[in-house]
Amino acid sequence: MGDPLPSWRPGAVRESVVAFLDAVTDVPVADRLACFDNDGTLWCERPTYVQFDYLIDLLRAADRADATIQDRPEYAAVLDGDPEAIGDLGLVRVALALTELCEGWTPEEFTASVGAFMARAPHPTLGRRHRWAVYQPMLELLDALRARDVTVSIVSGGGTEFVRAVSDDLYGVPPELVVGTMIAYDYDRDAGGRPRLRRTAEVDKGPNEGAAKVSAIQSQLGRRPRLAAGNSGGDREMLEWAAGQDGPSLALLVDHDDADREVAYTSVAQSFAEAEPITEVGSALGWTVVSMARDWAQVFPEAR
């Protein structure tokens, strides 16, 4: 079958991943679950989140149709490209304002819009489309897990429906295995009397970060993961939950330390402050910390 992880360089990190792949087959199939964060874990999240770029694209289209939209400070800050103003307002507040651009859409309309964006949108700095800004080593790991009958789920701080719109195409993860920040829906009937769902601008139960991820895993997936992978403080509890059990487990933390092939930075949660850098937490707790620079021979797949 060949090497299932060709983009993972030899070393302690690869050995830890391979050891888990070997050991997880001793776990009953029904208990084989792996949960992956998305932004910064499965695809590039810098210089801005992909979902944020999508919403900016919608905002620019709305601005072309009606320039008075700039009267709202959140929209003005984004359209002006003013990071200081965005920082003062807070990314969560700005993101929530941007979600209002999709208010009233059906799930099908939203999914089609995201698909059209991903089919054409370029990444701002990598010279490739967003859909090819996924991490090749992680794609290999997803395939290796599925080959061992491990159910792969995405547990993201991003919008559930946004990730669901691309998860099967990019990662082979079906929509029902995506857990994220939920937008509330209104149920009503169209002019012909047929039932329909329409998006609101309200977040249901708050951002899916921190301990909320563990609660969401239990309430929506009903199983404890044997593997959890993340990159920020928003993933800490999820990784602790996976690692703190008997039997085979793996807490995998991606350290973005590759300024040449991606961006060098320390990932942080967006909805709360962290007491210490997540890389220090991971090292102290004995997690498998992936150095993007040292442990990955290839970061991105060949662009098509």
Q: Block means of pLDDT (10 residues each) for the chain, length 304 residues? A: 92 98 98 98 96 95 96 96 92 89 97 97 95 97 98 97 98 98 96 96 93 98 98 98 98 98 94 92 97 98 80
Count Cβ atoms below 10 Å from residue 205 Cβ, excluding itself.
12
Residue that has been written with the tokens 């850098």 in this structure: 277
The residues near 144 (Cβ < 8 Å, ≥ 6 apart) are 4, 5, 21
In 3D space, the residue among 32, 38, 26 whose CA is nearest the CA of residue 223 turns out to be 32
Maximum distance among all Cα pairs of the chain, rounded to whole angstroms: 62
- For residue 200, tell me if it sits in a domain: yes
The residues near 68 (Cβ < 8 Å, ≥ 6 apart) are none
pLDDT the model gives residue 91: 80
Structure tokens given for 48: 């801005």
The residues near 10 (Cβ < 8 Å, ≥ 6 apart) are none
Residue pair 149/32 in contact by the 8 Å Cβ criterion? yes
pLDDT the model gives residue 1: 58
Q: Looking at the 3D structure of the chain, how many domains does it have? A: 1
pLDDT the model gives residue 2: 81
pLDDT the model gives residue 96: 87
Residue that has been written with the tokens 């084989």 in this structure: 32
- For residue 142, tell me if it sits in a domain: yes
pLDDT the model gives residue 261: 97
In 3D space, the residue among 42, 219, 53 whose CA is nearest the CA of residue 135 turns out to be 42
Q: Where are the beta strands (DSSP E) in 210-249?
A: 227-230
- Edge-to-edge strands, sheet with 227-230: 195-204, 178-189, 151-159, 33-36, 227-230, 250-255, 288-291
**Residue 233 structural domain:** 12-45+130-295
Structure tokens given for 115: 């698909």
* Distance of alpha carbon 83 from alpha carbon 204, whole angstroms: 27
Dihedral, CA of residue 146, residue 302, residue 156 and residue 188, to nearest 10: -100
pLDDT the model gives residue 14: 98
- For residue 291, tell me if it sits in a domain: yes
Report the CATH number that the domain containing residue 205 is assigned in CATH.
Answer: 3.40.50.1000
pLDDT the model gives residue 229: 99
Structure tokens given for 167: 């998860």
